[in-house]
């Protein structure tokens, strides 16, 4: 398992150092600083092996978080732990910064001792941790708090404490999707899949039970089984997993039709993963998601689909090489959704050769600039309507280079559109919330309206065929 956890600042100075196993020494701290933080070339991979020691790291702002081990362990588990540790620290003292880490280093050491036991991840739920670890440190636990801890750890609803009250009861639901695309040089889609998340913000009183359904014609082929981690005393790290068939149903094939983005009545989900609060038995029998939500923001569901994806944009790149010192690039982007819809925050990154010395840009819409530090042209547009087209032209001057031929990395595109490319949506009957108290019944319609109208998708497209030669 994990042998040690280190936190560095941008200079490579150690802010937090916690070693769990004897096979990790002080030399591991210096090895990561020299080979990763102070490396001449930026590391492209989040995992590196130095002197038979594996380093798993992630960066937030100017802070490096690194987990070290000499064993061949599950990389996904390590990164899930690092991200969960960041979420826990943010829930205690807000932004992850060098100043905040120094001011709360005692608290961080307490959290590291609670979350990891001899390198094995333990309880990582912020709500449970806050019942016996306060921002000022460990304090005497009263009988009432001790009863709350016992109820949280051993009770049926360990992710939500009792007695929560709000003057105004609200529930927000966001659908966030990431589109990954592989395209040939002829413009043919070789593979495409959507990774989606359903994120909720819950501000409800009492112990409410929420219920809503997703697209009508989803059928479950394999029996849903809880993930092993959800019953092993580590809530929050994995949740529950489920499996669904990849059937077509009434979905449409990906095309440039302006109606394909919003007319789907069903979605073929390949696999999905739920938060531990979801009742899998009801999902299997009723095809609806029933749960008692944690307080605050949480991730209710993750899913992945590879069938009938409506691609919101299409990128057509073209390059013409003029000798060895000049290159002409033309990139056309087309929107494939309804004219009444608008895509926002569009950013296209077009890679350029490392030996680029000058770039002349001309774009029909938005702003474009060459960022030499990233070897890329950054093209930004605030918004773009449906069934529209825009174009960028660039003349690139190159320095003479005798090295191997440039392998042309992929074009990447980030944008936001007001629909889910996978076709994911709630059923038309909205969101039902049941609670025994009267004021919850009165506010149920308000909550249903908010949850119904806050449906959005923030997506990212990557194309792995860069240029089509003229």
DSSP 330-391: EEEEEE-S-TT-EEEEEEEEEE--TTEEEEEEEESSSEEEEETTTTEEEEEEEEEETT-EEE
Question: How far, in Å, CA of 146 to CA of 54, rounded?
Answer: 39
Query: Which run of H or of E encompasses 274?
Result: strand 271-274
pLDDT in the model for residue 220? 35
Cβ partners under 8 Å of residue 271, min gap 6: 241, 242, 243, 244, 303, 304
pLDDT in the model for residue 428? 52
Strand, helix or coil at 81? helix
pLDDT in the model for residue 307? 81
Q: How confident is the prediction for the chain on average, in pLDDT?
A: 75
- Do residues 199 and 190 make contact, with C-beta atoms less than 8 angstroms apart? no
- Do residues 106 and 67 make contact, with C-beta atoms less than 8 angstroms apart? no
Burial of 411 (0-12, 13-18, 19+ CB in 10 A): buried
pLDDT in the model for residue 463? 34
pLDDT in the model for residue 434? 67
pLDDT in the model for residue 229? 39
How wide is the angle at C-alpha 156 spanned by C-alphas 151 and 160, nearest 5°? Answer: 65
pLDDT in the model for residue 427? 61
pLDDT in the model for residue 242? 35
pLDDT in the model for residue 27? 81
pTM above 0.75, yes or no: no
- Which residues of the chain fall short of a pLDDT of 50? 137-141, 216-217, 219-263, 436-470
Domains contained in the chain, CATH given: 4-154 (3.30.450.60), 170-220+266-309+421-452 (2.60.40.1170), 313-417 (2.60.40.1170)
């Amino acid at each position: 398992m994990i042998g040690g956890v280190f936190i560095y600042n941008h200079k490579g100075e150690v802010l937090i150092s916690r070693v769990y196993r004897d096979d990790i020494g002080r030399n591991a701290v210096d090895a990561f600083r020299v080979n990763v933080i102070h490396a001449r070339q930026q590391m492209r991979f989040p995992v590196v092996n130095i002197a038979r020691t594996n380093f798993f790291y992630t960066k937030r702002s100017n802070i490096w978080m690194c987990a070290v081990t000499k064993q061949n362990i599950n990389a996904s588990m390590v990164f899930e732990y690092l991200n969960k540790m960041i979420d826990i620290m943010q829930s205690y003292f807000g932004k992850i910064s060098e100043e905040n880490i120094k001011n709360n280093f005692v608290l961080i050491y307490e959290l590291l001792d609670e979350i990891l036991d001899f390198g094995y991840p333990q309880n990582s739920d912020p709500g449970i941790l806050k019942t016996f670890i306060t921002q000022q440190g460990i304090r005497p636990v009263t009988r009432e708090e001790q009863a709350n801890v016992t109820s949280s750890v051993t009770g049926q609803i360990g992710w939500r404490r009792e007695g929560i009250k709000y003057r105004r009861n609200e529930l927000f639901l966001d659908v966030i999707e990431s589109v990954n695309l592989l395209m040939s040089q002829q413009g043919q889609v070789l593979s495409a899949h959507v990774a989606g998340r359903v994120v909720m913000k819950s501000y409800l009183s009492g112990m409410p039970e929420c219920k809503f359904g997703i697209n009508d014609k989803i059928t479950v082929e394999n029996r849903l089984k809880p993930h092993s981690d959800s019953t092993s005393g580590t809530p929050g790290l994995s949740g529950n997993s489920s499996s669904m068939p990849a059937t077509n149903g009434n979905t449409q094939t990906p095309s440039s039709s302006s109606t394909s983005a919003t007319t789907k009545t069903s979605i073929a989900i390949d696999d999905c993963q739920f938060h531990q609060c979801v009742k899998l038995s009801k999902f299997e029998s009723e095809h609806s998601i029933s749960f008692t939500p944690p307080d605050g923001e949480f991730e209710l569901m993750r899913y992945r689909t590879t069938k009938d994806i409506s691609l919101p944009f299409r990128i057509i790149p073209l390059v013409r090489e003029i000798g060895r010192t000049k290159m002409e690039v033309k990139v056309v982007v087309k929107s494939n959704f309804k004219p009444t819809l608008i895509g926002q925050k569009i950013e296209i990154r077009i890679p350029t050769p490392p030996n680029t010395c000058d770039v002349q840009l001309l774009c029909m819409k938005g702003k474009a600039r060459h960022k030499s530090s990233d070897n890329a042209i950054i093209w930004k547009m605030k918004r773009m309507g449906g069934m529209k087209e825009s174009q960028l032209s660039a003349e690139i001057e190159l320095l003479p280079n005798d090295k191997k031929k440039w392998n042309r990395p992929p074009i990447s595109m980030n944008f936001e559109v007001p629909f889910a490319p996978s076709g994911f949506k709630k059923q038309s009957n909205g969101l039902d919330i049941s609670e025994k108290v009267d004021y919850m019944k009165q506010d149920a319609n308000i909550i249903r309206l908010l949850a119904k109208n806050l449906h959005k998708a923030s997506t990212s497209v990557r194309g792995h065929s860069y240029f089509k030669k003229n």
